[in-house]
A and B are shown apart, each in its own frame.
Chain A
């Protein structure tokens, strides 16, 4: 019994980690007033950039070094999602373009990049199946804590994950701390709530938006990297990442823009998913599982509605979310 719980619990966490990365990144972005609907695309790019790095490292013929095997895909992934963040920031902050339209275009672009390069690499590798397996570098990513297996269910539940999973949790807590306890976070929130006031107080609105969006994108991109290198064991297949990017945006709302809540909420989301496909009763009709899969979205809507009904100031979306700022319009 205990081992079964531990098994599903760890599955839920693995399912939740990409969402946690995505939602932490998107929360930072939204706190600056930028509603980046390009996050699904960013996560695809983060994933494929890492895959490209890993692929060429594996192909290089050199003896594989675990340290480089992690570092190269990691840096590639960060660089890829940074570029995506820069595109979004340049268009919406510098050129003051509409955020919804820019975000959706970025998603089209990013998913296109992911599937195009994914498809090309699959072709280069000459595999018979429509997927690409990077088992060696993936093994480096999946390195567990050495004593995890010896601690039974406790080890499986809490210690059996790779370093990226713990990184996600640490980043979420750091983000929460920075947002709520530091001057930097205060300024960032001011920019998202009321850029005019922030500007008047001498805060460089544009710079905050740029940095928050780019850092947010890089964090979100790691979610894609985690998914492919760890969760999927280094197997890239086109569209394999699915709708997780949108689910990450849902998670932002669900956590009412608080990354520390995101740690638990992402496990909950992952748990609901695991429950839906494995455990919940279906009364003999397999189709019911499809309905269960809508549960995370339904939960998100309920939270969204309740927070708007209660209208508590600290639980609202950032006031200027989705709006471009132009000083002369004050």
Chain B
């Protein structure tokens, strides 16, 4: 007989402070590992590197605003994918949905920039970005609802079709043949979102803050939110109580895609005023982690998206100060994620040492 050293069992829900403590310990351990890795790989003092990361994110007011903008956009995408995740629909197509939203928005700016009044243009951009994102999210949902087509793989593939569509239009719109669309409407600023209080990122932050409240209420206090949670828990139960599962799947994914479209809108209309294939910057994937780490809770997502953006933004200073490669922050991000992901186990399960009487007898 094989004797196991541990006995693992599911544990009842923990008090919140205990689970928080476990996560904090996990992050602390992760930072220790990061410090060791930093010393081994770069020979730098890890404390210097960490402090450089902090100053890279918060050093100046410009940097703070850039960090806030990063959080706002990542949070927006995370909010977008969350309703789908609650329904156990693994939407890893955020990347493509953002791109399509941004593409639709940029198309409006280019083709109608000088044609219609600015407020009409912004309205058109908003509507078209939302619709484009919703369509891109809706297509896999229809197939999932009708034929149970694997949504993880479908949404993943849709990302690259979106990327190529954007690449195509970038080539069409660029006059010089480099495939890079410069700033759109630089002279007239047509379709550029208004700058509030002299801070060009402020509007984005406000819009996303409103979205946090909206998604929170939608998930927890609306009939739709209830229905999609039931579908996520058990499709059979949902059918039994008379919920139209197909309808809920498609509706939720339309919302998910639409919110990703909003992220595209905020990027193109709000800040970049340009479009490229890398505009989403992997946020569609990062958002999966943000949302999951926050246990699909929109308010907690503010914290988790902050952690990830901090790691990314902080790396900009590392690059210049230590001559390190920017990718170093990806390694640190990966390590920290592994620890947080792993810590979930200790929150959900109890581990008991098995007292092996047989062995003791020998």
What is the interface of chain A, defined by CB distance below 8 A to chain B? Answer: 35, 37, 87, 90-91, 94-98, 100-102, 104-116, 119-120, 123, 238, 243, 246, 249-250, 253, 285-288, 290-291, 293-294, 297-298, 300-301, 304-305, 308-309, 311, 317, 321-322, 326, 328-329
Contacting chain A: which of B114-122, B244-252, B336-344? Answer: B336-344
- CB closest residue in chain B, given A98: B292
Report which of B293, B328, B344 forms a contact with A116, defined as CB distance below 8 A: B328
Contact between chains at A112 and B161 (CB < 8 Å):
no
Given A115-B330, A290-B168, are A304 and B150 also a contact pair (CB < 8 Å)? yes
Contact between chains at A322 and B161 (CB < 8 Å):
no
Binary interface encoding of chain B residues 159-190 relative to chain A, with 1 for a CB under 8 A from any of its CBs, else 0: 11101110111011000010000000000000
Report which of B9, B167, B172, B288 forms a contact with A328, defined as CB distance below 8 A: B9
Contact between chains at A291 and B330 (CB < 8 Å):
no
The 5 closest A-B pairs by CB, nearest first: A112-B330, A109-B334, A287-B171, A119-B325, A294-B164
Given A98-B341, A290-B168, A297-B161, are A115 and B334 also a contact pair (CB < 8 Å)? no
Contact between chains at A104 and B330 (CB < 8 Å):
no
Chain B proximity of A280: nearest CB distance (Å)? 14
Contact between chains at B90 and A95 (CB < 8 Å):
no
- CB closest residue in chain B, given A116: B327
Chain B proximity of A313: nearest CB distance (Å)? 13
Contacting chain A: which of B99-107, B141-149, B260-268? Answer: B141-149
Is B158 at the interface (CB under 8 A from chain A)? yes
Contact between chains at A297 and B157 (CB < 8 Å):
yes
Contact between chains at B149 and A305 (CB < 8 Å):
yes
Contact between chains at B90 and A120 (CB < 8 Å):
no
Q: How many A-B residue pairs have CB under 8 A?
A: 173
Is B289 at the interface (CB under 8 A from chain A)? yes
State the CA gap A329–B328 with chains docked (Å).
39
Given A95-B342, A116-B325, A294-B165, are A249 and B153 also a contact pair (CB < 8 Å)? yes
State the CA gap A328–B171 with chains docked (Å).
56
Contact between chains at B345 and A97 (CB < 8 Å):
yes
Contact between chains at A112 and B327 (CB < 8 Å):
yes
Contact between chains at B288 and A101 (CB < 8 Å):
yes
Is B355 at the interface (CB under 8 A from chain A)? no
Scan residues 123-143 of chain B and give those whose CB is less than 8 A from a CB of chain A. Answer: 143
Contact between chains at B147 and A291 (CB < 8 Å):
no
Contact between chains at B327 and A291 (CB < 8 Å):
no
Contact between chains at B345 and A305 (CB < 8 Å):
no
State the CA gap A305–B147 with chains docked (Å).
8
Contact between chains at B10 and A328 (CB < 8 Å):
yes
- CB closest residue in chain B, given A276: B164
Contact between chains at B149 and A238 (CB < 8 Å):
no
In this complex, the interface size class of chain B, counting residues with CB under 8 Å from chain A, is: 35 or more
Instruction: Determine the chain A residues whose CB is within 8 A of the CB of B331 once the complex forms.
Output: 109, 112-113, 116
Instruction: Determine the chain B residues whose CB is within 8 A of the CB of A321 once the complex forms.
Output: 150
Contact between chains at A115 and B325 (CB < 8 Å):
yes
- CB closest residue in chain B, given A309: B147
Given A294-B164, A298-B161, are A308 and B149 also a contact pair (CB < 8 Å)? yes
State the CA gap A104–B334 with chains docked (Å).
9
Instruction: Determine the chain A residues whose CB is within 8 A of the CB of B158 once the complex forms.
Output: 297, 301
Instruction: Determine the chain A residues whose CB is within 8 A of the CB of B149 once the complex forms.
Output: 304-305, 308-309
Report which of A35, A94, A97, A298 forms a contact with B152, defined as CB distance below 8 A: A35
Given A116-B325, A308-B148, are A294 and B345 also a contact pair (CB < 8 Å)? no
Chain A proximity of B116: nearest CB distance (Å)? 26
State the CA gap A120–B327 with chains docked (Å).
10
Is B285 at the interface (CB under 8 A from chain A)? yes
Chain A proximity of B291: nearest CB distance (Å)? 9
- CB closest residue in chain A, given B168: A290
Given A116-B327, A297-B161, A298-B161, are A105 and B289 also a contact pair (CB < 8 Å)? yes
Contact between chains at B157 and A300 (CB < 8 Å):
yes
Is B333 at the interface (CB under 8 A from chain A)? yes
Q: Report 24 cross-chain contacts, Cβ distance below 8 Å, ordered by A residue.
A: A37-B152, A91-B342, A96-B349, A100-B152, A101-B288, A101-B337, A104-B92, A104-B289, A105-B333, A107-B285, A108-B330, A108-B333, A108-B337, A112-B330, A113-B331, A114-B327, A115-B327, A119-B327, A243-B160, A250-B157, A286-B177, A291-B164, A300-B153, A308-B148
